[in-house]
Every structure is written in structure tokens, then in C-alpha cells.
Amino acid sequence: MPDISDDDLEADAFELSLDEMLDRVSAATRAEWEACEATAPPRAIARYDTLRAASPDWRVVAPLNIEEAYVLVPVTSRLRDLDDLRGRRINVGAPGSARATSGEALYRRLFAQPLPASSLRSVSKDAALQALLAGDGLDALVFFDGQPSAWLESLPGETRRRLKVLSPQATSAAGRTALQSYLPATIAPTLANDRTPVETLGEVAFLVASPQATRPAQALHDLCERLPAGYNKRLSARRAKAVRAFLLGKGLDPQMVHAQGQGTANPVADNATADGRARNRRTEVTFEGVRAVATNTR
């Protein structure tokens, strides 16, 4: 499996990192997760592209959320959208890493050819950013992250004012291909020059477990039961947005589809029992006049 490291998976994009979340599960469940830590990592967060390149022994425990594509270029760059990346010098991270796997797959899906070699293709995000802004051997920096991106938010305001995110264009061949291969997504205003959400591409991230993790489903259940209500509400909102993104990918008008996360509100059964919790974990699509409303509740 491509190296699943915290840096490549952008685990800090979540309100709680996976390790922090595991601190909230029962001691017995956490011990089970950590029992084989010395021989093989029992769990990780992996995007769809990473899973496709992974050993089939890894098991998907649950989808977590959508991670958005951040394709960064200087605001002064002549690159206007994803079509302009063809043949450019692009940084995607260390070979075999999750970031590189996703970045290489994005380029391949856009242009049906491998990502071109370049001297700064494999350096870290920080090193790539320095070269990008200096105009020194790099045209774009690519990574996938949740919202908000902790790495972007950690940058000084002056640095963020010098960056922009490239978007797909549905009117171009490459843009249409990308929108067919990924979920349509938007990034809330992140860079200092942004005034409205920026269109981009999204990919589902999953919680996965190695064969040595004997009861991953129970660990996930323990985890969800102990997460703070605010985190569950945000996770629920992400899942509802994933349904909305799927519907938009089928051609529905974005103005007609609204997503709302309910969190633990509005249960339909007793949450004290396993059967009740299973019934409460649901996504509902309702129609109000001509508007579809996707609602996720856990």
C-alpha cells in the first residue's frame, strides 16, 4: 500500500486527528487497535485513489468525508484552470506516498498520460511552496485535503494572498473528464483573495483497517459514540454534502439541491440499542416542490 503517513493523508484537516479520536474510545478497544502496531499499522485514513493502489488485504471500515483537490499556483500565473496543467512542472510529493498517488491519478485522468518528470515533483509542500512563489522550477502544487485545510490556514496572510486555486472547466474536454471521474466540490474562501467558494474536485476518504485489526467495526462504533456532538454534526454535514455532490454529478442544478447535516438530532429509533443506532445512521432525500434536500443523520 502507498505509504500512509500523517503528512500525506493530511489527518490534521479533521477537527480531531485519528489518534485524538481513538483516545476517546474505550481502553479495551484502543488496546485492540494498538496490539499489532509494532508489526503492521491496524488503521489509517486513505483516499479512494490510495485504496485502488493498495493491497486487497486492507478493509474499508467506513467512508469518512470528502477531501477536496487543491491545485495551487501563484496569482500572477498564466494558468487559468486545470486544462492548463498539461505538460507543466507539478509537485505531488514523495513517490509512493498517498499525496503522490492522488496527484498522479488526477493528472492521468485529466490528460490520459503520466505526470511529467520534474526536479521538484517529489519535494515537500513547504519546499514546493517556496519554489512556486519564487518562480523557480515549479508551476503548480497539488494536494488533497479536507476543509478547512490546516496547512493552508497555517500560512501567513501575505503568502495566501499570493496564491490561487485552479478549477475544472466543464466546457473543456479535460474538465468534463475530471468531473466525470471525481465528485464536483467547492472550497470555501480560503486564500486571502477569495471572495466566493472556488469550484474544484472531490474524492472520498475512508477509514481502513489491516487484517490484524480484528474488530474494526466495533472500534468505529465506540469511536462514534464518544465523539463530541459538534464533531458528529460536522461529519454528518460532510456526508450530506457527499450525497449532494453525487446528485450534481448526475446533472442536477446546484441551485435545486440543498444538503443539511443533522448529527444526532431527529432519531427514528432508540439510540441505546444496536438496531436503533443502525436505523438512525441514515441519509434521507426529500423533495420540497422542485428542490431536493439531502439530509444525513447518525
CATH code of the domain containing 285: 3.30.1330.60
Report the alpha-carbon distance of residue 240 to residue 237 in Å, rounded.
5
Number of domain units in the chain? 2
Do residue 60 and residue 149 come from a single domain?
A: yes
Domain assignment present for 221:
no
Do residue 189 and residue 245 come from a single domain?
A: no
Range of the domain at 105: 6-206
Do residue 51 and residue 175 come from a single domain?
A: yes
Whether the model clears a pTM of 0.75, i.e. scores above it, the answer is no
Number of other residues whose CB lies within 10 A of the CB of residue 257 = 18
Do residue 240 and residue 106 come from a single domain?
A: no
Do residue 147 and residue 200 come from a single domain?
A: yes
Domain assignment present for 214:
no
Do residue 94 and residue 34 come from a single domain?
A: yes
Domain boundary among 175, 206, 237: 206
In 113-266, at which residue ranges do the beta strands (DSSP E only) sit? 140-145, 163-165, 183-187, 198-209, 257-263
CA distances from residue 172 to 71, 110, 252, 279 in whole angstroms, order as listed: 17, 10, 19, 43
Blockwise average pLDDT, block size 10, the chain, 298 residues: 37 41 51 48 69 69 81 95 95 90 92 94 96 96 88 91 92 84 84 81 80 59 58 69 74 78 76 73 71 56
CATH of the domain at 118: 3.40.190.10
Would you call the peptide bond into 216 cis, given omega within 30 degrees of 0 as the criterion?
no
Do residue 82 and residue 191 come from a single domain?
A: yes
Pairing of β 291-297 and β 257-263: parallel
pLDDT at position 282 is: 76
Domain assignment present for 216:
no
Domain assignment present for 178:
yes
Domain assignment present for 223:
no
pLDDT at position 10 is: 37
Do residue 239 and residue 135 come from a single domain?
A: no
Do residue 268 and residue 137 come from a single domain?
A: no
Domain assignment present for 218:
no
Bridge partners of residue 288, in order along the sequence: 291
Q: What is the residue whose three cell numbers read 481502553?
A: 27
Contacts of 247 (CB under 8 A, 6+ apart): 257, 292, 294
Do residue 119 and residue 163 come from a single domain?
A: yes
Do residue 71 and residue 181 come from a single domain?
A: yes
- Name the packing angle between helices 27-34 and 216-226 (round to 10°): 140
pLDDT at position 298 is: 58
